[in-house]
Structure 1
Amino acid sequence: MRRNKEFEPKKIINAVFSQKFIVISLLLLQIAFLIFAVVSLAGQFVFVYYFFIAVELIAVMYIINSGENPAYKLAWILPILIFPIFGAFAFIYLKFQSSYRYEKNLSIKKIENTKPYLKQKASVIKALEQKSSGVSNLAHYMRVYGGYPIYQNTEVTYFRLGEEKFHAMVRELEKAKHFIFMEYFIIDKGYMWDTIHEILARKAKQGVEIRLLYDGMGTQSELPYRYDKKLRAEGIDCKVFNPFVPLVTTIQNNRDHRKILVIDGHTGFTGGVNIADEYINRKERFGHWKDTAVMLRGEAVWNLTMMFFQLWEITGEQSSAEYDNYRPSSFERLGIEDDSFVLPFSDSPLDDENVGELLYMNIINNARDYVYITTPYLIPDNEMMTALCYAAKSGVDVRIIVPGIPDKWYIRLIGQSFYKELIAKGVKIYEYSKGFIHAKNFLSDDSKAVVGTINLDYRSLYLHFECAAFMYGCECIADIKDDFEDMFENRCRRVTYEECASRPIAQRMLSAVLGLFAPLL
């Protein structure tokens, strides 16, 4: 008799007693208690009800006059007006938490501590000014407001797939002599992590300094409880960034979504690829998994090294006193000479600068011929929509590739609500028909490119710690363009205006409702 796969008691029991289920249950109980307490109190005392109504009005006025993104304002004002008592209480409770202020102040302090180590070479800026005043202005902004200088003498290798990056990672990890720094949003047990883990443990025994930082939410259901303790016992200095706990706090929104690997200070990786088997297509999820990454060799890797330290030192009390000891010049010189320009950078949710989005818009606004984009989540805010539509209306060939098979159905529904307007203004939307595209790439005019972790949605642009590498005039830009052209011709289908206009009305209504709350999802 064929076994009924729909009912497997062991799996159900394991799920019920899993760490993830327990944490979510505690979180929901906490929210339910808060709602019950506030509503009951207001119901018993009339003056309390009117007090909360007054608080609601104050909260709405505060939100309207704040410097937040308009979409974020609307996403908060709606629940406050729909649930006047609890909505206002929830906003105040989440907005004015000491944990958020503490982490924000600590982040600012750590970044200030690293500024003396991130100085801009005048000779690089002079060379850049001679090639492009526009890119020089962008570099000025990124240096002053982002905190990261631009470099020459850096070779960049582009990887079209996670498998390619993984093979290069293994090769370079085996060469490590002094230190390995790894920072990832997701680490999941499987072939990819087992291979890397074995190298890290072996290198630690050989005296190589190993530091590993992973996000508490991204790995919450993938790794065993207190897995960091196990790794430390193996000689791998491991920390968990912002461990997920069953407390209603805004700080839980600020995840470490970055992907950084630094080896001996001279070789670095970044891009969209996490440490899990689906990223290298050894495990199928949502069809073929398309992801990209870059490997840097040379002077620009120093930015990645300092990015790692900035978040490493927020997590725990341990300090790293001598940053200069981690410069490649301390122990090895590669002798790389390259006159192109590379700017690795990080974007923090704890400051007032949205450097990732502004860099993206700079590329869009200054494009002359084309802008090609890949993103798994297309939920642009008003500013990004304006930039994309204006570029297309100005005659720039704007193309965006999104997944053909989504990983989150509701994100796809929200994204589809933007297709019709974008296409009507001349933007071309493509779906990756082979499966799920997780790559976050920008390419413009055969001269500029960005490969990193930054999606085109509110969470990535405003709430997460992100990173990327901006490249100008690099040889690898031709490889990135070849990858785009291959996708357009062989791996994607173009979305038409007619199919957007013919979407069922119920689907369009659900998209519209979900879109209102997109900044809070």
Structure 2
Amino acid sequence: MINENEGMGIMLVEQGRKGILSTIFSRLGIILVLFLLQLFLLFSLFRWFENFLPEIYGGTFLFTLLMVLYLLNSRLDPTGKITWLIIIMLLPIFGALFYLYTQRDIGHRTLKSRTSKSVEETRNIIPQNRKTADDLHFASPGAASLSRYIARSGCYPVHGNTEVSYFPLGEDKFKEVLFQLEQAKHFIFLEYFIISEGKMWGQILEVLARKAAEGIDVRVLYDGTCEFSTLPSDYPKRLEELGIQCRVFAPITPFVSTHYNNRDHRKILVIDGHTAFNGGINLADEYINEYEKYGHWKDTAIMLQGDAVRNFTLMFLQMWSLKEKTKEFDYFLAFPTNPRKDAKGFVLPYGDLPLDGEKVGEQVYIDILNRAQKYVYIMTPYLILDGELENALMFAAKRGVDVRIILPGIPDKFTPYALAFTHYGALIDAGVRLYEYTPGFVHAKSFVADHKEAVVGTINLDYRSLYHHFECATYMYGVDCIGEMEEDFLKLLPKCRMVTRLTMKNEKLTRKVTGIILKAIAPLL
């Protein structure tokens, strides 16, 4: 039996299940019709102009050559260039049109403009404390240099006076979230990639509705892909009836647009400007192991209390304001952060935007790998690497750094699982140690290095996160919980199977072949 708290989310969702299905099928139907129309036109052209096939082939060859030269001189990353070269050489006209379609930002020029404007308008709204920056430089010039890069690419300064708590499982975060929500006095901001009916969201929603009734400013922002499977299209209206403001990032509508390629993959919860949560855990029951979707679900999160929370408050408001321009930044950032004077280390929450030309998430990971001296321990659900990140992993291992990566033993999708396999050989030969978590699925996105620096956030080691999604993470240096992260990683190893050349040889042929075939178009998946 479902109690009242757990059932509120289910009650709101099930009323609109038919709306979800109609949305899905209408969009897929239009895409299918357009695809079939393109095939029909291509075949028709060859039939109508069969007497001019030599000229057509010659023109196609010349067009392909020009596109190849253009791509080779473009600013795409090398892996992306290879992918597009293959597509255009196999399908010159269709491939070129598809390339232009994706590169011209059809459907999200307005989003790009608003995002850039929001960042520029808020670039100096949180001033960098000079003493904190100088102290970080004294502790680690390399970490200080990284913080300056993050500040230059966004609006996010590094902070002290911030206590960080580490949660090795979703169940641990969920319990603390419920406690902290009850303490809210002024505002609650939630921004999540996935919200799904069940125990977790039902209990959180009950608190949110009650707090909203008390006059607290409660806002929920979620990604439009939820409308495919977990929430109906009118869910914002239903939350507003409970007194909760709600917005959907890029709602699913029956139009083809590259805008759908850029999802809001962030997971942020901010309470009163002094407490924030970040990590890989969405608001769905599989994340707290309420039921087994892909075996045991291993995920991580952190809670920040103190000055660094301001960065997450700003991050949320930047995304919230994309739909309607807001002047609320100064007001919400003025709330006291309750600085933790005794907290050790430095904390830097940061965002990564897919539309600014900066791969902040990847650059942070590469910088940690390049500066590491002893070890780098990584947890990630996906391993679909470009050349830069793969080389950084191998170079660190070849320098004698103990690089270990824990991946899922039970994958959630076959395609990423197969693509990860294509990187195993090169990484293992370079000295990187790979492990697969046998009890289930690893969804954590974390780096911990040399007992002193770490990252926890939403950024996977794949093209989706590194190139296409709105992401966020928290960089930490000298924070107490880094020891807990290291310990959590090492405790996980006995539950993993180590990947070796022998285990690779015994892997299923379907995984090997699928990875080889799909690697050519991996950046588009």
Q: Provide the TM-score with structure 1 as the length reference.
A: 0.92
Q: 2:32 aligns with which of 28, 33, 39?
A: 28
Q: Tell me how far 1:498 sits from its aligned partner.
A: 1.4
Paired residue secondary structure (1:252)? helix
1:467 aligns with: 472
1:3 aligns with: none
Equivalents in 2 of 1:70, 1:396: separation in Å? 26
List per-residue Cα deviations over 1:449-505 (Å, max 9, x = no partner): 10000000111100111100000000001111110111013x212111212134455
Q: 2:165 aligns with which of 154, 157, 162?
A: 157
Does the alignment pair 1:444 with 2:445? no
Instruction: Give the 3 Å change call, closer, same or farther, for CA 378–438 of structure 1 in structure 2.
Output: same
Q: 2:282 aligns with which of 274, 277, 281?
A: 274
List per-residue Cα deviations over 1:399-443 (Å, max 9, x = no partner): 000000000011101101111111111110001111001000100
Aligned length: 505
Does the alignment pair 1:476 with 2:481? yes
Equivalents in 1 of 2:135, 2:445: separation in Å? 28
- The answer as to whether partners of 1:16 and 1:22 remain within 8 angstroms in 2 is no
2:330 aligns with: 324
Instruction: Give the 3 Å change call, closer, same or farther, for CA 57–35 of structure 1 in structure 2.
Output: farther
Instruction: Give the 3 Å change call, closer, same or farther, for CA 30–113 of structure 1 in structure 2.
Output: same
- The answer as to whether partners of 1:443 and 1:450 remain within 8 angstroms in 2 is yes
1:63 aligns with: 71
Equivalents in 1 of 2:406, 2:340: separation in Å? 38
Does the alignment pair 1:74 with 2:82? yes
1:242 aligns with: 250
1:37 aligns with: 41
1:344 aligns with: 349
Instruction: Give the 3 Å change call, closer, same or farther, for CA 194–48 of structure 1 in structure 2.
Output: farther
Equivalents in 2 of 1:365, 1:97: separation in Å? 33
Equivalents in 1 of 2:114, 2:80: separation in Å? 25
Q: 2:213 aligns with which of 205, 216, 220?
A: 205
Does the alignment pair 1:255 with 2:257? no
Q: Which amino acid letter does the alignment assign opposite residue 378 of structure 1?
A: L
Equivalents in 1 of 2:39, 2:98: separation in Å? 9
Instruction: Give the 3 Å change call, closer, same or farther, for CA 343–279 of structure 1 in structure 2.
Output: same
- The answer as to whether partners of 1:363 and 1:444 remain within 8 angstroms in 2 is yes
Aligned pairs for 1:500-515 within 5 A: 500-503=504-507, 507-515=511-519
Paired residue secondary structure (1:148)? coil
Paired residue secondary structure (1:116)? coil
Q: 2:204 aligns with which of 193, 196, 203?
A: 196
Aligned pairs for 1:290-309 within 5 A: 290-309=298-317
Paired residue secondary structure (2:384)? coil
Instruction: Give the 3 Å change call, closer, same or farther, for CA 59–234 of structure 1 in structure 2.
Output: farther
Q: 1:359 aligns with which of 359, 364, 371?
A: 364
Paired residue secondary structure (2:229)? coil
Q: 1:187 aligns with which of 195, 217, 222?
A: 195
- The answer as to whether partners of 2:305 and 2:338 remain within 8 angstroms in 1 is no
Q: Tell me how far 1:381 sits from its aligned partner.
A: 1.1
Q: Tell me how far 1:210 sits from its aligned partner.
A: 1.0
Instruction: Give the 3 Å change call, closer, same or farther, for CA 43–55 of structure 1 in structure 2.
Output: farther
Equivalents in 2 of 1:386, 1:97: separation in Å? 30
Equivalents in 2 of 1:194, 1:53: separation in Å? 59
Q: Which amino acid letter does the alignment assign opposite residue 405 of structure 1?
A: I
Q: Tell me how far 1:364 sits from its aligned partner.
A: 0.6
Does the alignment pair 1:147 with 2:143? no
Mark the runs of 5 or more structure 1 residues left unpaired by the alignment: 1-12
- The answer as to whether partners of 2:165 and 2:304 remain within 8 angstroms in 1 is yes
Q: Which amino acid letter does the alignment assign opposite residue 129 of structure 1?
A: H
**Seq. identity, %:** 46
1:405 aligns with: 410
Is the deviation greater in 27-36 or in 332-341?
A: 332-341
1:176 aligns with: 184
Aligned pairs for 1:304-315 within 5 A: 304-314=312-322
2:424 aligns with: 419
Q: Which amino acid letter does the alignment assign opposite residue 440 of structure 2?
A: G
Mark the runs of 5 or more structure 2 residues left unpaired by the alignment: 1-16
Equivalents in 2 of 1:43, 1:84: separation in Å? 18
2:9 aligns with: none
Aligned pairs for 1:389-404 within 5 A: 389-404=394-409
Equivalents in 2 of 1:333, 1:17: separation in Å? 46
- The answer as to whether partners of 1:38 and 1:86 remain within 8 angstroms in 2 is no
Paired residue secondary structure (2:107)? helix
Equivalents in 2 of 1:181, 1:33: separation in Å? 45
Instruction: Give the 3 Å change call, closer, same or farther, for CA 15–117 of structure 1 in structure 2.
Output: closer
- The answer as to whether partners of 1:100 and 1:251 remain within 8 angstroms in 2 is yes
Instruction: Give the 3 Å change call, closer, same or farther, for CA 49–321 of structure 1 in structure 2.
Output: farther
1:7 aligns with: none
Equivalents in 2 of 1:118, 1:41: separation in Å? 59
Instruction: Give the 3 Å change call, closer, same or farther, for CA 185–256 of structure 1 in structure 2.
Output: same
List per-residue Cα deviations over 1:305-364 (Å, max 9, x = no partner): 1111111111x22x331322213x545745544241000001110011111101001111
1:8 aligns with: none
- The answer as to whether partners of 2:190 and 2:269 remain within 8 angstroms in 1 is yes
Q: Which amino acid letter does the alignment assign opposite residue 422 of structure 1?
A: L
Instruction: Give the 3 Å change call, closer, same or farther, for CA 469–441 of structure 1 in structure 2.
Output: same
Instruction: Give the 3 Å change call, closer, same or farther, for CA 337–219 of structure 1 in structure 2.
Output: farther
Q: Tell me how far 1:209 sits from its aligned partner.
A: 0.5
Does the alignment pair 1:167 with 2:175? yes
Aligned pairs for 1:352-391 within 5 A: 352-391=357-396
Q: Provide the TM-score with structure 2 as the length reference.
A: 0.92
Equivalents in 2 of 1:406, 1:97: separation in Å? 32
Q: Which amino acid letter does the alignment assign opposite residue 359 of structure 1?
A: V
Does the alignment pair 1:112 with 2:116? no
Is the deviation greater in 101-110 or in 372-381?
A: 101-110
Q: Which amino acid letter does the alignment assign opposite residue 111 of structure 1?
A: V
List per-residue Cα deviations over 1:37-74 (Å, max 9, x = no partner): 35534653558887666554443333222111221222
Is the deviation greater in 95-104 or in 253-262?
A: 95-104
Q: 2:297 aligns with which of 289, 295, 312?
A: 289
1:10 aligns with: none
Instruction: Give the 3 Å change call, closer, same or farther, for CA 256–222 of structure 1 in structure 2.
Output: same
Q: Tell me how far 1:508 sits from its aligned partner.
A: 2.5
Does the alignment pair 1:499 with 2:499? no
Is the deviation greater in 346-355 or in 69-78?
A: 69-78
List per-residue Cα deviations over 1:86-143 (Å, max 9, x = no partner): 2222222332244232221211001111112132111111111111111111111111
Q: Tell me how far 1:380 sits from its aligned partner.
A: 1.4
Paired residue secondary structure (2:369)? helix
